[in-house]
């Protein structure tokens, strides 16, 4: 076919994908891939599992599924791609279509010609510029080489205590890795007031945090590291609230696009910093493509350019770039943002916008939160699942979903399903009638996915008036300051203990008796309705409304959510 | 609000859902629900799990998730719904808006007025009209009462051998229930040449069957029961090919809509037999609604009216009917058909059309079949998953997907995700870029869901030329009749045993050496390319094509699929 020169800068995720795809579509193309490091084509997302020891050696992250190491020889023999290591690209000459680079081993300058260029320079971790950051034992994971250093330190037995800074995905995965497999006493420091900020709601984050606390991780939220101290290596993290002794610090406060080269070449950047690309993954220079962690792409919900540094997007974009370089016209429309993480025994997943993000982005929105078994409730093996659906007021447009539960793949399945339809601008009723495959060992006839949409619709139509768990906790703490009654709609077996402990403010009327006993409910108090998951208390709310009560609030997720937040009120307040 | 009279005929799945929804939207409505049986509002889909003993008592299928029995009193107290048992509806007088019914206990005739009527008469199992069908021990599961009878028989210890007739979902679930939990020697008889006909492809069905065979179930396919024999009860099933001794027969050859009443009332029926309803679930009489197993709804893929007897659809339709009865305008668009079943340790799932069904429906279509790990291949816990994507030629429209694997929720997650987008008429590229949440414990960066679409695209563009396992087996059996070479693209460690056993027809050239050793590949033979999953053999195929070889075929799913079909050729041929 063409014999065109394809030059790829960066050989970790997107780069190799482009290279291989190009050779598959156009075997005659001359594909050269350069990288400034020694380790290429590895699964960076696997680093926490390498640190933990789940993945036994670093080479496993570099192997194919059939156990061949993806090294220079592999790319040459199996893929027909020429890979050069320790070559750092310095400058792009867009007129002459060449890239100037430095051989980091010899210091010599080299020049590479291209017909099409691919920038796959990825991201760089954000640094904490506070005193002591350069002390040994303070790590920022910037690649597999750094990960190997950390694991060597841990394996040497030197590390008894660790501090992770940042409660985003990588921070939490690292905390689990250090604590679970190596028994290191681990705490997580986060400047925001919740873990996974921007990804899940405050309530759901609290549930996830409680689960991690039960597994021995300590959290310091709304707290900031101000310096690191130590003689030969880090010994202490000083925050704005305390001193924490430690043997190791992992800084995981996010990444930013590595765009130095693109900037220098005058390519257009997004205000967020990433390289701007069109739907064909072309930069402002049509002969230069870019993808992966160094670009910004369209957020299909907000329609703004956003930054999604994810290995999965890099791989898919890589294929699109490879196709288009060879004359194809494949589109990469953008992303809705989908996310999943394993935290000990639970999965937390998200697609689209969380309620906080939706509001920040200017959507007049609310969220519905539901607790329900993940399978038919009569099926013996089942777990409680929690879903939160984010919906635009008025239009009923679904903006996002988040989930949490112990059946990890089942949580991922529900959230992944919505991830797929978000770009079609679904209405709440599309989720109400979402056609999840049904069979008792897998789902409910009215699955939790349908249920959370039904609840959202009920809220939208003014039928259901809910309170979230944060509000519930606040009201409970201030329960003596205002006229409030907690009306427990369960049977006595569940409600009794609460009534006995708090006879003045906790009342039990099983939902089936409410109509007959309606006169027992005071009309002048704020009524908080409670049951196990929020279903019976919703029925109770409808009865109250029908009888003229206007001031009732249904606790979303019920006592199941309360317990999973570690908030069990009889015990904790 | 209205105080309108709502009459509901049938109180198993859809009926109770309508009743409860109506009372929630319009508490003043007078809702009466009649049923000819004694057992109402139960999870019929749970019957196999009740038979197996996973669900310990029949009442569990009638309980709410909070352990209240959904009996007449429950509906009255908790839902405000009036339920009458043992009342059989006989005639609908659409002019006078009344329903004539018989009290089965007293024999008396009763009349019920309605403003809005709901027909929720469900389905009836198809009967096998062959000699001996009336013998004791021959069961057709028509409801919970029959299931209780079967379980009592089994529990009494009388049943050592059982024959299940029909290899659809219920037949297979019943076979597992009898065999797995009670140790009953069980065989399944099916007239078609595969299990789950119409739902999954022949190849995938063969994998599912092999799994069940490994768990001790025997199958007789393409075989027909012609009569039952026995003195006081069934002792033998006589087929067109053999005699099978048995103590119990379960006939599970499908269900058909129960439309007697609707027909008599002159309501419009579909050619398939179900009651015709519009998007608001109204029959041809706008004051009469119908839903669940007695109706036909639009198949969103074929756009034809189709029959989907599923508890999940019944529940969702019930909510829509309830809303609309109270003046709402909610739509139920139809269904794409989604399905999942647990068979011992695997899940088999499907959404939309299988390749056979697609062709039968007139779609010029093909399918791509892929084997891949369900998680990042470096993650220690992972299982092989198999997906098959059905695509329309030319347009690239995705018509369906089927999946099989041991990570059961993960299979369901992939298939459920596609179930959700099918109504938007997705293109293959929508699945290529499907934004499944990614993290190594859950998925691959290029997930199997994306991969199967990539393969489909490669097939569509003529890059990949595949053969399915059925063809592979045929070619292998006839290997001496034509000039054929099996070219194993794996390393010697995997390929060696085959080469040593079949030196004349099995050749090993690892994919990475193929370019250099291309002269060893004969140009005049049909080449079947083989590797573990089909990925390396695809690369090999591209190399062959590039060198002018036109007659090569890549084995879809590779040796992983072959092994999971029980077809391991060294052993079995």
CATH code of domain B466-572: 3.40.250.10
User: For chain A, what is the mean pLDDT?
Assistant: 95
Residue B416 confidence (pLDDT) above 60: yes
- Per the DSSP assignment, residues forming a β-bridge with A476 are none
Does residue A345 have a pLDDT over 50?
yes
- Residue pLDDT, tens place only, B215-253: 999 999 999 999 999 999 999 999 999 999 999 999 999
* Cα–Cα dist B331/A322, whole Å: 43
Please determine, for residue B384, whether its predicted confidence score (pLDDT) is greater than 80.
yes
pLDDT band per the 50, 70, 90 thresholds, residue A481: confident
Whole-number Å distance between alpha carbons of A520 and A478:
23
Residue B183 to residue B160: CA distance in whole angstroms: 8
Can you say whether residue B22 is alpha, beta or left, with left for phi > 0 and alpha for psi between -120 and 50 degrees?
Answer: alpha
| β-bridge partners, B365 | B392
Contacts of B429 in chain A (CB under 8 A): 330-331
What integer pLDDT is reported at residue B2 of this predicted model? 65
- Short-list A330, A328, A347, CA closest to A339: A347
Q: Judge: A347–B490 Cβ closer than 8 Å, yes or no.
A: no
Helices (H), B46-201: 47-52, 72-79, 144-155, 169-176, 182
From residue A184, alpha-carbon distances to A137, B41, B173 in Å are 14, 52, 47
The answer to whether A331 contacts chain B (CB < 8 Å) is yes
Residue from B15, B306, B421, B295 nearest A430 by CA? B421
* Residues ≥6 apart with Cβ < 8 Å to A156: none
| Mean of the per-residue pLDDT values of chain B | 95
With bands split at pLDDT 50, 70 and 90, how would you rate the model's confidence at B569? low
Q: Does the pLDDT value for residue B60 go beyond 70?
A: yes
Percent share of chain A, pLDDT over 70: 99
Q: What's the whole-number mean pLDDT along residues A135-161?
A: 93
**Rounded mean pLDDT of A195-203?**
96
Which of A25, A62, A144, A378 to probe by mutation at the B interface, max B CB count within 10 Å?
A378
Q: Please give the angle made by the CA atoms of A322, A328 and A331, to the nearest 5 degrees.
A: 80
Separation of alpha carbons A541 and A528, rounded Å = 9
Scan residues 261-320 of A and list those with Cβ closer than 8 Å to B.
310-316, 319-320
Alpha helices for B504-557 (secondary structure H): 535-546
Structural domain boundaries in chain A: 5-124+256-325, 138-253, 339-460, 466-572
Nearest-Cα residue of chain A relative to residue B434: A420
Fold agreement (B138-253, B339-460) = yes
* pLDDT computed for residue B181 by the predictor: 84
Within an 8 Å CB–CB cutoff, is residue B29 touching chain A? no
- The reported pLDDT for the residue numbered A143 is 86
Interacting residues of A350 by C-beta distance below 8 A, sequence separation 6+: A199, A200, A337, A338, A339, A340, A400, A401, A402, A403, A415, B437
User: Would you place residue A226 in the very low, low, confident or very high pLDDT band (cuts 50, 70, 90)?
Assistant: very high
Residue B572 predicted with pLDDT over 60: no
Q: Which CATH superfamily is domain B5-124+256-325 in?
A: FAD/NAD(P)-binding domain (3.50.50.60)
In the annotation, is A326 catalytic? no
CA torsion sign for B231, B236, B238, B243 is negative
CATH of B339-460, one of 3.40.109.10, 1.10.1270.20, 3.30.450.40, 3.50.50.60: 3.50.50.60
Contact A341 B13 (CB under 8 A): no
Residue A193: how many other CB atoms lie within 10 Å: 12
Residue A120 neighbours by CB distance under 10 Å: 30
Sequence-distant contacts of A298-304: CB under 8 A, at least 24 apart: A298/A333, A298/A334, A298/A335, A299/A334, A299/A335, A299/A336, A299/A337, A300/A333, A300/A334, A300/A335, A300/A336, A300/A422, A300/A423, A301/A336, A301/A337, A301/A352, A301/A353, A301/A361, A301/A399, A301/A400, A301/A422, A302/A353, A302/A361, A304/A361
Backbone CA torsion sign across B114, B117, B123, B127: positive
Contacts across the A-B interface (CB distance below 8 Å): 296
Give the pLDDT confidence of B166-200 residue by residue, as tens digits. 999 999 999 999 999 899 999 999 999 999 999 99
Q: A558 pLDDT band (50/70/90 cuts)?
A: very high
CA distance B203 to A501: 62
Instruction: Tell whether the model's pLDDT for residue A343 goes beyond 60.
Output: yes
- Measured distance CA(B37)–CA(A547) in Å, rounded: 35
Q: For position A480, what pLDDT does the model report?
A: 86
Report CB contact under 8 Å: A413, B412: yes
- Which residues of chain A neighbour B376 with C-beta distances below 8 Å? 43, 45-46
DSSP state of A299: B
pLDDT of residue B573: 45
Q: What is the pLDDT of residues A351-384, one digit of tens each?
A: 999 999 999 999 999 999 999 999 999 999 999 9
Q: Is the pLDDT reported for residue A573 higher than 50? A: no
* A570 confidence band (pLDDT: 50, 70, 90): low
Return the percentage of chain B with pLDDT > 70, whole number: 99
> CA triplet A434, A438, A440: central angle to 5 degrees?
140
pLDDT of residue A569: 65
Q: Which residues does chain A have within 8 Å of residue B436's beta carbon, measured at their own beta carbons?
A: 312, 338, 412, 416, 419-420
Residue B542: how many CB atoms within 10 A of its CB? 20
- Mean pLDDT lowest among B66-80, B239-253, B414-428: B66-80
Question: Which two structure tokens, joined as six digits, stand for B156?
Answer: 């009494």
Please indicate whether, in this complex, the C-beta atoms of B409 and A442 are within 8 angstroms of each other: yes
How large is the average pLDDT for residues A42-54?
A: 93
Tokens matching residue A517? 């006993």
Beta bridge partners of B335: B299
Going across the sheet that includes A236-239, the strands are A225-229, A236-239, A243-245
Tell me the per-residue pLDDT of A86-126, one tens digit each, with 9 for 90 and over. Answer: 999 999 999 999 999 999 999 999 999 999 999 999 999 99
ipTM of the complex model: 0.96
Per-residue DSSP letter, B126: P
Q: What is the CATH number of domain A138-253?
A: 3.50.50.60
The answer for residues whose C-beta is within 8 angstroms of residue B174's C-beta and 6 or more apart is B48, B51, B141, B164, B250, B252
Residue B454's φ and ψ, nearest 5 degrees, are -60, -40
Taking a C-beta distance cutoff of 8 angstroms, is the pair A405, A211 a contact?
Answer: no
pLDDT exceeds cutoff 90 at A347 = yes
């Amino acid at each position: 076919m063409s014999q065109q020169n394809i030059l790829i800068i960066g050989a970790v995720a997107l780069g190799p994908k482009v290279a291989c795809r190009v050779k598959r579509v156009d075997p005659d193309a001359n594909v050269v891939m350069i990288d400034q490091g020694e380790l290429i084509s590895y699964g960076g997302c696997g680093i926490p599992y390498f640190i933990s020891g789940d993945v036994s050696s670093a080479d496993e992250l570099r192997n194919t599924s059939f156990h061949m190491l993806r090294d220079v020889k592999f790319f040459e023999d199996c893929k027909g791609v020429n890979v050069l290591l320790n070559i750092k690209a310095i400058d792009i000459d867009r007129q002459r279509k060449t890239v100037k680079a430095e051989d980091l081993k010899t210091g010599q300058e080299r020049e590479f010609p291209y017909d099409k260029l691919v920038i796959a320079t990825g991201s760089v971790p954000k640094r904490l510029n506070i005193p002591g950051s350069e002390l040994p034992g303070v790590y920022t994971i910037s690649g597999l080489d750094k990960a190997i250093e950390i694991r060597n330190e841990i394996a040497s037995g030197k590390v008894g205590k660790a501090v992770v800074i940042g409660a985003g995905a990588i921070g939490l995965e690292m905390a689990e890795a250090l604590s679970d497999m190596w028994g290191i006493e681990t705490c997580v420091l986060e400047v925001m007031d919740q873990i996974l900020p921007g990804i899940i709601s405050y309530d759901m984050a609290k549930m996830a945090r409680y689960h991690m606390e039960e597994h021995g991780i300590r959290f310091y939220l709304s707290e900031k590291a101000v310096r690191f101290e130590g003689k030969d290596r880090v010994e202490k993290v000083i925050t704005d609230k305390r001193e924490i002794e430690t043997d190791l610090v992992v800084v995981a406060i996010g990444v930013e696009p590595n765009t130095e080269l693109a900037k220098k070449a005058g390519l257009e950047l997004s205000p967020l910093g990433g390289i701007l690309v069109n739907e064909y993954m072309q930069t402002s220079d049509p002969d230069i493509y870019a993808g992966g962690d160094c670009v910004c792409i369209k957020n299909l919900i907000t329609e703004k350019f956003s930054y999604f540094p994810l290995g999965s997007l890099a791989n898919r974009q890589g294929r699109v770039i490879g196709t288009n370089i060879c004359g194809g016209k494949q589109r990469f429309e953008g992303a809705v943002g989908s996310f999943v993480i394993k935290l000990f025994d639970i999965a937390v997943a998200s697609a689209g916008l969380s309620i906080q993000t939706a509001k920040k982005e200017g959507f007049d929105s609310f969220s519905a939160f539901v607790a329900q078994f993940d399978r038919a409730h009569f099926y013996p093996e089942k777990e409680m699942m929690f879903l939160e659906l984010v919906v635009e007021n008025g239009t009923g447009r679904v903006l996002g979903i988040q989930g949490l539960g112990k059946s990890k793949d089942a949580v991922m399945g529900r959230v992944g399903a919505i991830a797929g339809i978000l770009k079609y601008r679904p209405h709440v009723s599309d989720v109400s009638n979402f056609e999840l495959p049904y069979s008792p060992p897998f789902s409910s006839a009215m699955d939790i996915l349908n249920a959370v949409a039904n609840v959202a619709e009920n809220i939208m139509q003014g039928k259901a008036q809910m309170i979230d768990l944060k509000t519930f906790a606040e009201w409970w703490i201030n329960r003596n300051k205002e006229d409030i009654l907690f009306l427990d709609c369960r049977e006595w077996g569940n409600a009794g203990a609460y009534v006995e402990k708090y006879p003045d403010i906790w009342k039990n009327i099983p939902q089936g008796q409410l109509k007959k006993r309606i006169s027992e409910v005071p009309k002048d108090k704020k009524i908080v309705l409670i049951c196990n998951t929020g279903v019976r208390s919703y029925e109770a709310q409808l009865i109250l409304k029908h009888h003229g009560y206007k001031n009732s609030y249904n606790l979303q997720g019920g006592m199941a959510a309360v317990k999973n937040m570690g908030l069990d009120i009889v015990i904790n307040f």
